[in-house]
Structure formats: C-alpha cells, structure tokens
C-alpha cells in the first residue's frame, strides 16, 4: 500500500535539538538553510572559500556562515548540498575528518552514497531528504505555507533514530506538508537519473527541438513553431500535474485528443522504449556515473561546450525575443539568476 508521511508523523523537536550544517548555498542549499532557520533550527551554512559568492548571499539572508570544515565540526547533522560531481572531493577534504560518532550525514540525492564515491564511517547515520522539486520551488512553497513532496531514505542507522530524524528534517523544510515517501538510496538514485535523462530534461528538450525544427524546416515561422512546441508545454503540463493524463485530455479539443491517440505512439514507439532501457542499464551499472565523473575530472570541457552550443539553438533566440515582447500570464520569475 502507498504509505505517505505527513506533518503529524514527524517530530520537529528532534531536528531542533541538533545543529545542522548546510554545505553549499545553491539551488537546494539556500532553500534548506532558510526553511530550516524559519522552522527554528540552528543552522550554519558551509562555503568552500571566503571568496565564494555563496558566502555573501547566505550572510545577507541572515544565516551563520563558515568554512566547510568549521561548519562540519560544529554540526550534529551535515547536509551535503554541493554539485554531485564535486561532492566526494569536498567530503574527503573537509567533512570526513570532522564527523564524530553519533553525527548524521545527509543528502538530497543518493548519487555519491549509492555509487560508493562517499563511504561514511559506520558510526554515523546516513540519510536522505530529497524534495522532489527545484530548490527555488522548495523555498517558494515553504514561504507560502505549503511544501514540495519529498523522499526519505536511510543508508545507515547508527543512532537507531535515523528515520525519525530524516522525517523531522523533512518537516522542517516543508516536505511533510505535502507528503513524504520512504525509499532506498538505490531506487532514488536510479529513478532520479532515469527520469531526468529520459523524460524530464533530456527527453523533453530533445522532443521540443525536434518538433520545432520539423516545423521550421517545413517553412513555418519560427515564432509559430516556438509557441506550438515550447510555450504551450507549460499549459499542458499544468493540466497533467493537476489531474493526470485524462484530466489533460478532458481539457484539450477532441481533435487534439484524436491526434494524441493516433500520432503519439508513432513518435514515441517501442524503439524509443528500447533506448530508454539502454539508458537505464547504463545508470544501473554505474557507467553513466563514471562517465560523468570522468568528464568533470577532465575539466568539464565537453559539458561546457555543449552548454554553449545548446544555448545557441535558434529556438532560444526566438524564445528570448518573444518573451521580451509579449506579456505572458505569470506570477513573475521563479528563478532570478542574479541572486538566490
Ligand atoms: P548547486 O549547483 O546549486 O550548488 C551550488 C553550491 O555549491 C554553491 O554554494 C557553490 O558555491 C557550491 N559549489 C559549487 N561547486 C563546488 C565545488 N567544486 N566544491 C564545493 N562547493 C561547490 O547544487 P544543487 O542545489 O543543484 O544540488 C545540490 C544537491 O541537491 C545535489 O546532490 C543534487 O543532486 C540535489 N538535488 C538538487 C535539486 C535541484 O533542485 N537543483 C533537486 C533535488 C536534489 P560557490 O558559491 O562558491 O560557487
Ligand atoms: Mg536529479
Ligand atoms: Mg494547438
């Protein structure tokens, strides 16, 4: 049966009796640190260097800030919220030497524990609290009095209360307002990587670009292609999010629904599913993780070049022009890239 944990299933006092170091102040880090603080938890943000842009942001938000090693030795719970690819190096240099028995090491994604890039001492709790949403949404929903649903998982339960502590932490960042599901580090890691690669990020952006290019190459105006293949995604996904696939199909025209049934399976056919299985296999075997870490260790050259190339895609140019010229119904920018 589907068991979810809500506010009533979690004891906030548990995390409030601990000192929590949030290592990193990016997307997840700023949301965890600020939500914890607003929930009455004693928080300190750990930053990698005195010149770190994160340092000023966290200080301006009224948080205690220190170097990573200092925050780690001060804390009872160390939550690791730096990029996954850089996490093991930072852990070995500045966190591991300061963990003492009875401490907890926490994560928002299972990558480094599951693929054994970080192997913590047996005397500490190792748990995950992973909000299923971008950090900026985690913060926004909390401020609104709501929360982003989350996952918890326990890799090591040295204290005998790792699960209660994970739930307590999940409550402090707002996730138990929405609902928390318990999983394992393995399942969270593998499904998270698969979802972002095959569907949410990789699958979706490739689908959008292929649709856009097909229309533009057939002679249609780029602005028309942009609206049909990118802009309207939001309107459709809002309906999916709200009530699932049938809910979306209820709202679209019968013509759109008929075309959905007849053309959708021709676009995403069994050959796509076969390749999804290949992608899943590379995730499960650790091949993806090792490739990504090798890319990072090699200076991320291909990664950064691809980022630049992708930003040059014509759909990005026309999209920018349109968004500047047209007022869309919105509640303002979710992500202000000039600050957190
Ligand atoms: P970010 O990329 O936003 O983290 C940026 C922070 O990490 C900054 O404080 C930055 O410091 C610091 N940092 C960057 N590079 C390094 C480095 N080489 N060494 C030490 N510190 C560094 O991370 P996310 O919030 O995206 O991800 C954090 C964790 O949360 C990951 O495990 C991720 O999988 C997980 N997660 C992320 C989600 C998201 O919404 N992004 C969703 C769910 C889970 P500086 O200011 O000095 O650059
Ligand atoms: Mg992810
Ligand atoms: Mg239409």
> Residue 213: pLDDT above 60?
yes
Task: Tell me which H or E stretch contains 127.
Answer: strand 125-131
What value of ipTM does the predicted structure carry?
Answer: 0.98
pLDDT at 334: 55
Place of tokens 């990587």: 193
> Residue 335: pLDDT above 90?
no
Instruction: List, chain by chain if needed, residues with CB within 6 Å of any ligand 1 atom.
Output: 24-29, 48, 52-54, 81-84, 86, 90, 108-109, 130, 134-135
* pLDDT classification of 332: cutoffs 50, 70, 90: low
Q: What is the pTM of this model?
A: 0.93
pLDDT at 1: 74
Strand partners, 274: none
* pLDDT classification of 340: cutoffs 50, 70, 90: very low
> Residue 2: pLDDT above 90?
no
CA of 271 from ligand 3 middle (Å) equals 27
> Residue 96: pLDDT above 50?
yes
User: With the C-alpha atoms ordered 9, 111, 200, 136, is the resulting torsion angle positive or negative?
Assistant: positive
The answer to the question of whether 133 is labelled as a binding residue is: no
pLDDT in tens, 297-316: 999 999 999 999 999 999 99
Task: Tell me which H or E stretch contains 183.
Answer: strand 180-183
Mean pLDDT throughout 207-215?
A: 98
CA of 199 from ligand 2 middle (Å) equals 12
Provide the CATH topology of domain 7-183.
Answer: Rossmann fold (3.40.50)
CA of 21 from ligand 2 middle (Å) equals 22
3-class state of residue 120 by DSSP: coil
pLDDT at 339: 47
> What token pair was written down for 284?
């499960």
The answer to the question of whether 46 is labelled as a binding residue is: no
Catalytic residue check, 109: yes
- How far, in Å, are 76, 151, 181, 335 from residue 73 at the CA level? 8, 27, 30, 32
Domains 7-183 and 194-325 share a fold: no
Q: Where are the domains of the chain?
A: 7-183, 194-325
Give me the percent of the chain exceeding a pLDDT of 90: 94
194-325 is classed in which CATH architecture?
Answer: Orthogonal Bundle (1.10)
Backbone φ and ψ for 333, nearest 5 degrees, come out as -70, 130
């Amino acid at each position: 049966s589907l068991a979810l944990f809500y506010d009533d299933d979690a004891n906030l006092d548990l995390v409030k009796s601990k000192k929590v170091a949030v290592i990193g102040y990016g997307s997840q880090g700023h949301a965890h640190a600020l939500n914890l603080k607003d929930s009455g938890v004693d928080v300190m943000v750990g930053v990698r260097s005195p010149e770190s842009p994160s340092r000023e942001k966290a200080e301006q938000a009224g948080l205690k800030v220190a170097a990573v090693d200092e925050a780690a030795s001060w804390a009872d719970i160390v939550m690791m919220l730096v990029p996954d690819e850089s996490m093991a190096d930072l852990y070995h240099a500045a966190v591991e030497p300061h963990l003492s028995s009875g401490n907890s090491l926490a994560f928002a994604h299972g990558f480094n524990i599951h693929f054994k890039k970080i192997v913590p001492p047996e005397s500490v709790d190792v748990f995950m609290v992973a909000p299923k949403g971008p950090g900026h949404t985690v913060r926004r929903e909390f401020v609104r009095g709501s929360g982003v649903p989350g996952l918890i998982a326990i890799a090591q339960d040295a204290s005998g209360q790792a699960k209660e502590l994970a739930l307590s932490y999940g409550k402090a960042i707002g996730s138990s307002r929405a609902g928390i599901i318990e999983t394992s580090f393995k399942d969270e890691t593998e499904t998270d990587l698969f979802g972002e690669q095959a569907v949410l990020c990789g699958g979706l952006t490739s689908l959008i670009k292929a649709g856009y290019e097909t229309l533009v190459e057939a002679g249609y105006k780029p602005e028309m292609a942009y609206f049909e293949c990118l802009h309207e995604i939001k309107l459709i996904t809002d309906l999916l999010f709200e009530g699932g696939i049938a809910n979306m199909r209820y709202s679209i025209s019968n013509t759109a629904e008929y075309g959905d049934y007849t053309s959708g399976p021709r676009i995403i056919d069994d050959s796509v599913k076969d390749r999804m299985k290949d992608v899943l296999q590379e995730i499960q075997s650790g091949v993806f993780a090792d490739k990504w870490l090798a890319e990072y260790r090699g200076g991320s050259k291909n990664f950064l070049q691809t980022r630049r190339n992708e930003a040059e895609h014509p759909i990005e140019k026309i999209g920018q022009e349109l968004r500047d010229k047209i007022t869309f119904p919105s509640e303002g920018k979710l992500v202000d890239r000039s600050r957190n």
